[in-house]
Every structure is written in C-alpha cells, then in structure tokens.
Copies of this chain bind each other. A is one copy, B any other.
Amino acid sequence: MSLLVVGSVALDSIETPFGKRREILGGSATYFSISASFFTGVRLVAVVGADFPKRYAQKLEERGVSLEGLELKKGGRTFRWKGRYEYDMNAAHTIFTKLNVFKNFSPRIPDEYRKTPYVFLANIDPDLQLAVLKKVLAPRLVACDSMNFWITNKSKALKKLLGKIDLFFLNDSEARLISGEVNLMKAAKYVFSLGPQRIIIKRGDSGALFMTRQGGCFSAPAHLMETIKDPTGAGDSFAGGFMGYLGRTNDRGDKAVRKAVIYGTVMASFCVQDFGPERLLTLKPADIKKRFDDYKKNTCL
C-alpha cells in the first residue's frame, strides 16, 4: 500500500571529517521518499523554489516517487540547510537554516493522495503537519517526526499533533528534551502520555528502540559500519525503510514491526555510507536483502 509523506525538500551543504558537499539534494521528505521507494509507492508533498535543479527532481522520479504534490513556487528560493559534523557524528552542528519557501508554505494535497493509507509527517512545523493530517481520509497508520526546535518553540502544536497520530519517531536527545527525563524508559512513558500508541527512539550508532504503550519493546542495535561519511538523513531513511516495509506488507503485527525496524536500520546504514542520498540512489534491492541478512546474523541468537 502506498505512502504519503509531507516534509522538506532542500538544498543541503554539508561538511564532515570525510569531505564536503554544496547544495546537494536533501530534506526530510527526500530521504524518506528515496528510502521508502525500495518497498512501496511514495507520494511526496513539499515545496521548492524556482532554483531547485530539475536533475534533483528527476532523481526522485527515477525512484518512482510521485511528485504531483511537489509545489514549485515561482520566484521563491528552495529551503537551504548547512551543517557540520565532527568525528563523533551523532550530532549535527547547524551553520544556517534558510526556510525560504517553507516560511509561508500551505500544503496542497492532490485529491488522489487524500486516501493514502500510510502517512508520514516528516519533520516540519507541527502546524503544517496538523494541516496535512486534516486533509487525509481515514489513514491506516499515521506517523510523525519532529525536532528539538519544534519541541522548544511549538510545544503546544506538537502536543496537539501527538494526540492524533499512531507512531512517533524521535531521537534520544529529543525524547529527553520533551520529557525532562534522562532515562529513556521514563522518557518513553511521558511521550505515551501525550497520545501515541507506539514510539521509535532513534539512538544513532546505539541503535533504535521500538516501544508500545502496552509495554512491548524491540531493541535493535545499529548496523556496525567501518565507513560513515555523512549521517545527514539517517533518521528519515530509517523512517522510510520502516514505513515502506509496513506499507508493502500492510501488516502491523509484532513480527512485521520488528522486521520493519530492521529494514529501517538497514536503510539508515546505507544512507550514512556516502554524502547526502548518494548511496541510497545507487542501491539495488539485492543490496538491501544482503544487508538485512548480515544484520540478522550479527544480532540474532
């Protein structure tokens, strides 16, 4: 079953100890879409400016991503982000964020998108996430992501959103920030009190935790990697693999969810191997299958 994603499509400039790139294809919805496209059909809602390179849109189209919902704002400039990572690549240092066309974005959902059964509200202003949610009709599963900026500055809108979604993706520092708890189990309890039935706490190279309000838990270590060039987009690639697998199987049972967590981990591991979405864009389905099998071998009793 197909997926709808709303989030950012951006031009990213990135520096890591392993090199740098200028104005490459980026954004939360971009990484999510490319990653999920290996599993199921993806419909993207976002906005770009007139300066957005056609070849970047082509890359998404080549992955089969539907761009009917990608608005092109005449005269506008595309969202830009510049960041730097040190050797410990768990945290990005933002050099600048230029919202540009996202400043006054009002998401337009094409009619045929409105019945998409799986919905991912990638990291954008929670008011925009809420606006999109209003326009979709009886989805089977709604997931969202957020970030420290919205937790701090749009707490009310974010909490309203969390009362309306099924699954919340957040990283460990966001879980601690939103809850005021250092311990992740205590942080998770607080997040459940805000509404979601399920959460996934992403912990960078310490792996991911899937938890349910009923006390269910699946703890998955990260895939061990000798080469990590650029962690940008890892979280959205994780969400893309996770949601993509659920969409493909249309199964939300415990076993399917565990496999989805592993597919999320696998897609994130490919993402970080090269700058931006470069590695994701050259992936073959057999690469994914092989890494899934390797991962199982390295983690299962």
Contact = CB atoms under 8 A, between A and B. Distances in A.
Interface of A: 87-88, 182-186, 203, 205-207, 209, 217-222, 224-226, 228, 255, 258-259, 262, 296, 298-301
Question: Chain A interface secondary structure, helix, strand, loop or mixed?
Answer: mixed
Given A206-B203, A206-B206, A209-B224, A298 B182 contact: no
A219 B221 contact: yes
A217 B259 CA distance: 20
A206 B209 contact: no
A219 B224 contact: yes
A217 B185 contact: no
A185 to B, nearest CB: 4
Contacts of A259: 301
Nearest to A299: B219
A26 to B, nearest CB: 24
16 contacts: A183-B225, A184-B224, A185-B225, A185-B226, A205-B206, A206-B206, A206-B221, A207-B221, A217-B298, A219-B222, A219-B298, A258-B301, A259-B301, A262-B301, A296-B301, A299-B299
A185 B259 CA distance: 25
A221 B224 contact: no
Nearest to A17: B182
Nearest to A222: B219
User: For A88, A185, A186, which residue has the most chain B Cβ atoms within 10 angstroms?
Assistant: A185
B262 A183 contact: no
A301 B219 CA distance: 10
A182 B87 contact: yes
Contacts of A228: 183
Contacts of A184: 224
A153 to B, nearest CB: 25
Contacts of A300: 300-301
A259 B218 CA distance: 18
A182 B228 CA distance: 11
A301 to B, nearest CB: 5
A259 B209 CA distance: 21
Given A184-B224, A209-B224, A217-B298, 18 more contacts: A88-B182, A183-B225, A186-B226, A205-B206, A206-B206, A206-B207, A217-B224, A219-B221, A219-B298, A219-B299, A220-B221, A220-B299, A221-B221, A258-B301, A262-B301, A299-B299, A300-B300, A300-B301
